[in-house]
Amino acid sequence: MNDTQDGAATAAPSTAPRPPELLDLPGGFVLRRRTTADADPVNQAIVRNIDHLRPWMAWAASSPTPAHTAEMTRVGWQLWEAGTDFMYVLERAGRPDSVLGMFGLHRRIGPGALEIGYWVDREHTGRSLATNGAAALTRAALALSDIERVEIHCDQANAASAAVPRKLGYRLDRIDRQPIDTPAATGKKLIWITEQAGC
């Protein structure tokens, strides 16, 4: 898992290309654009997984209130409309109440690039959902006319998260130092990159 929660993003014009709002995944799962109607099931999923998320996610230091999640969901909707961040829920196809994780594409790493963030419900890990979701987002991101590079960032100690870009053929570009802001972090951030052919 790596960081996928709403926050500051690099400004982009409202006409910036956007990925599809629905992405089919193998096994009857989908990534669907997160809407304001998802606030309650998203809050329940986060609260249910807070101990699973806290070691790696700074925003998971404490369980969010329903009001906080509703506000973050509203902000996420606005960021999609602005073309800066694209937040998805992972769910079973046709089951909008079955939030099993969250994924995002974030324009926070500079022009021509998107960063993928993700986390999956602890009861559904080990089923390739993170890998399949990140693969779908990688394809969607690289299909955008203004994107040449996609990155996945995770702490060096987060072996499960690092396995995802490795399986997808990303290359480890570098290891950056960063402040330690979560209980399990080492302060060494792995920067995984994949690029458009010819870049």
Asked whether residue 106 is assigned to any structural domain, the reply reads: yes
Quick: pLDDT tens for 68-90.
999 999 999 999 999 999 999 99
Asked whether residue 8 is assigned to any structural domain, the reply reads: no
Asked whether residue 163 is assigned to any structural domain, the reply reads: no
Asked whether residue 57 is assigned to any structural domain, the reply reads: yes
Q: How many domains does the chain have?
A: 1
CATH number where 135 lies: 3.40.630.30
pLDDT band at 133 (very low <50, low <70, confident <90, very high): very high
| Alpha-carbon span 43 to 153, nearest angstrom | 24
Q: Is 81 left (phi over 0), alpha (psi -120 to 50) or beta?
A: alpha
Asked whether residue 5 is assigned to any structural domain, the reply reads: no
pTM: predicted TM-score of the whole model, two decimal places: 0.90
Asked whether residue 180 is assigned to any structural domain, the reply reads: no
Structural contact between residues 76 and 111, judged by C-beta atoms closer than 8 angstroms: no
Asked whether residue 99 is assigned to any structural domain, the reply reads: yes
- The residue range of the domain holding 115 is 22-153
